[in-house]
Amino acid sequence: MRVGVLGAGAVGGTLAALLAAQGNDVTVTLRGDAAETVREHGIRVSGAFGELSASVRVADRLTEPQDLVLVTTKAMDAVAAISGSAGAAGSGTLIVVQNGLEAIPSALAVLPDARILGGLALFAASLLSPGEVRVTASGALYVGPADAADPAVAVLAAALPTTAVRDFRGLQWTKLVVNQVNALPAITGLSVQEVVADRGLRRLLTRSIQETVRTGRASGVRFGTMSGLSDPLLRLVGAAPPLLAEALPRLMARRMGSVPNPGSTLQSIRRGRLTEVDYLNGAVLAAAQAAGRTAPVNEALTGLVHEVERTGQFLLPAEVVRRIPA
């Protein structure tokens, strides 16, 4: 199958290499020195999915029709990436592998007649250098709305664990809960495991998770099932006393294993790039406002991530706790 991957960062690079290893004709979009490096050396993946090196085509945009296109850029870059490769991207199935809630609507605004699905990556990966990715925790790729017989799902399932889902929006909200682990590492420079180990930060993370669950419920969402999380469990977490609810971030950290997981938002900070925080914690705030509610913890976390983006200075845990409203 001819597969295009828009953006070959941590997630895109992993998917491109796994798909190429299955014999698919894979083209990734990259520019500058990164493009030359991948063109010459291919993509190397290590860690939880094993060790592999794959040769891929490299271009600054897709120009030839593709059977499948994966959009794996950061959320704020997706529309520009799709627009730049619109002719090729709209020729087959387009899957936007993106955090937040706007993956499918944003793509449809560019390609209203295309077949567009959403994707959520549950594996954790870090881009060590252009074309070099380490997968720090295994996990499935979720695609929807679709079923397992879909050809696009089938080609992905041959490369890595892939689950087709019908209620994709419910699953997006569950991933939004999972992605609450991203903001505090970006603010402090600590790994997710270190954040959860810190008593004050763990309590803040628990509050942001509970706020997200309550916002989802107020928005009429039924949370999708993934990684041991489900609608009944998340409703229970949302209603539980904070000390009991702390069991969830503890469990999430344990499942990440012992390799420090920086989270995608901290990875962006370290590379000097803008983060997706407006599509993560900011999405919770926007949904709360739409439902006539407030989300003070997510609002504060969004502001602090932007502060670190501007200043390049991480905050000490005690300072973060002091600045988040009680």
Burial class (CB within 10 angstroms; exposed 0-12, middle 13-18, buried 19+) of 272: exposed
Q: Could you give all domains of the chain from N- to C-terminal order, each with its CATH number?
A: 2-166 (3.40.50.720), 171-323 (1.10.1040.10)
The per-residue pLDDT for range 154-194, each reduced to its tens digit, is 999 999 999 999 999 999 999 999 999 999 999 999 999 99
Alpha helices, DSSP H only, in the chain?
Answer: 10-21, 32-41, 78-84, 86-89, 103-110, 151-157, 168-178, 183-188, 192-197, 199-218, 231-239, 242-245, 247-255, 263-270, 281-290, 296-311, 317-323
Q: What is the pLDDT along the chain (326 residues), one digit of tens a residue?
A: 999 999 999 999 999 999 999 999 999 999 999 999 999 999 999 999 999 999 999 999 999 999 999 999 999 999 999 999 998 887 789 999 999 999 999 999 999 999 999 999 999 899 999 999 999 889 999 999 999 999 999 999 999 999 999 999 999 999 999 999 999 999 999 999 999 999 999 999 999 999 999 999 999 999 999 988 999 999 999 999 999 999 999 999 998 888 898 999 999 999 999 999 999 999 999 999 999 999 999 999 999 999 999 999 999 999 999 999 87
What is the predicted pLDDT for the residue at 87? Answer: 87
Neighbours of 18 (CB within 10 A): 23
Contact 19, 55 (CB under 8 A): no
In sequence order, the β-bridge partners of residue 25 are 2
Q: Where are the beta strands (DSSP E) in 37-177?
A: 43-47, 52-54, 57-59, 68-71, 93-97, 115-121, 124-129, 132-137, 141-144, 162-164
CA 204 to CA 226: how far, in whole Å?
23
Contact 286, 102 (CB under 8 A): no
The per-residue pLDDT for range 95-144, each reduced to its tens digit, is 999 999 999 999 999 999 999 999 999 998 999 999 999 998 899 999 99
Structure tokens at 38: 């991948």
